[in-house]
């Protein structure tokens, strides 16, 4: 069932949330591990955890959520994905800093809130990054790599 048009189905959103949940669980595990047990500053820990989470996210989103199996587009998709995630990382750090240092919120709760803000925006961009394209479009994009 299409709910938002343009190939966005309930199944796709469910897969996105599960894949995102796996990436988020990884993010939180590493965030807490590095902050609480290794003693790294929470913003540095958050950045490292975010990078680990996006690695899992890219893999699951490309092949499972969006069922996009091309290999020739991986460099282009990875570049676009990296741009989206780096912007997300910047937004993540800014909002996290404000919630923790300005509003004195516990960093774990603050990270949950930040993740809830970033997730729907990311879905929108990932939908376009991993959309199925025609062989002609694939060749054209391949020329720009």
For the entire predicted model, the pTM comes to: 0.67
Does residue 4 lie in a domain region? no
- Domains in the chain, number: 1
In-domain check, residue 5: no
Is residue 120 assigned to a domain?
yes
- Domain-embedded: residue 1: no
Q: pLDDT of 74-91, one tens digit each?
A: 889 989 998 998 898 899
| Straight-line distance from the first to the last Cα atom of the chain, in angstroms, rounded to the nearest whole number | 35
Q: Considering the domain boundaries, does residue 67 fall inside one? A: yes
Domain contains 3? no
What are the pLDDT digits (tens) for 6-55?
A: 557 889 989 999 998 999 899 999 999 999 999 999 999 998 998 898 88
Domain that residue 103 falls in: 10-142
Specify burial of residue 119 (Cβ count, 10 A radius: 0-12, 13-18, 19+). middle
Give a yes or no: residue 111 inside a domain.
Answer: yes
Q: Write the pLDDT tens digit of every residue in 88-126.
A: 889 999 999 999 999 999 999 999 999 889 888 888 999
Q: How far apart are CA 67 and CA 106, in angstroms?
A: 37
- Domain membership of residue 75 (yes or no) is yes
Quote the radius of gyration of the chain (alpha carbons, Å).
Answer: 17
- Token pair, residue 112, equals 């949950």
């Amino acid at each position: 069932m299409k709910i938002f048009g343009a190939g966005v189905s309930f199944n796709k959103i469910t897969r996105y949330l599960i894949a995102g949940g796996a990436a988020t669980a990884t993010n939180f595990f590493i965030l807490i591990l590095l902050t609480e047990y290794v003693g790294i500053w929470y913003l540095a820990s958050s950045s490292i955890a975010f990078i680990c989470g996006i690695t899992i996210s890219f893999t699951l989103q490309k092949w499972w959520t969006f069922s996009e199996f091309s290999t020739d587009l991986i460099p282009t998709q990875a570049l676009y994905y990296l741009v989206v995630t780096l912007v997300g990382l910047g937004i993540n750090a800014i909002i996290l800093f404000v919630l923790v240092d300005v509003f004195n919120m516990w960093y774990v709760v603050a990270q949950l809130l930040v993740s809830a803000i970033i997730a729907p925006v990311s879905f929108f961009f990932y939908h376009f990054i991993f959309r199925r394209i025609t062989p002609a479009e694939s060749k054209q994009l391949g020329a720009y790599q």
